[in-house]
Amino acid sequence: MPQKIQLEQISLAADRPLVSDVSFTLRRGQVLALLGSSGCGKSLTCAAALGLLPPGVRQTAGRVLLDGIPVHGEQLRGATIATIMQNPRSAFNPLQTMAAHARETCQAAGRETNDAVLLAAMEEVGLDNPRRY
């Protein structure tokens, strides 16, 4: 299991600079929040880490490292990194429980799905009645 992901001096541009010189390290088990006003580049920074830049946006500088080794975002997507964008209504199927979403994510990543472990994890993050969610 990887221990840390680093973004080093990421810069993005379209017809003008959009994100300049963003760097951070995310260690295994750590939670990171990118804060800023609307349009400041939070979502684009996440998209760059995942190799999902929208058409017309390009990375002009920087790199992504996994345990110190340079990688492309596509190599991390779904296996090492995941993101939930701002609008949860577009990220989740409202007809499925969160437990079903978690189970589906584990299966897509080729990981064992153990309902007891999934339910315990959901309770740990404050979903006191995970079967309801």
Residue ranges making up the domain that contains 13:
4-86
Q: What percent of the chain has pLDDT over 70?
A: 84
49 and 10 housed in the same domain: yes
Q: Does residue 130 sit within a domain?
A: no
Q: What pTM, to 2 d.p., does this model score?
A: 0.64
Q: What is the mean pLDDT of residues 29-47?
A: 88
Q: 57 lies in a domain?
A: yes
Over the stretch 12-36, which tens digit does the pLDDT of each residue have?
A: 999 999 999 999 999 988 888 888 8
Regarding whether 8 and 69 lie in a shared domain, the answer is: yes
Number of helices followed by number of strands (H, E) in the chain: 5, 4
Counted domains in the chain: 2
% of residues, the chain, pLDDT over 90: 34
Rounded Cα distance, 101 and 93, in Å? 8
Residues 60 and 99 in one domain: no
Same domain membership, residue 99 and residue 62? no
d(CA 13, CA 73): 17
Q: Is residue 80 in some structural domain?
A: yes
Helix H or strand E encompassing 60: strand 58-66
Which comes out higher in pLDDT, residue 57 or 110? 57
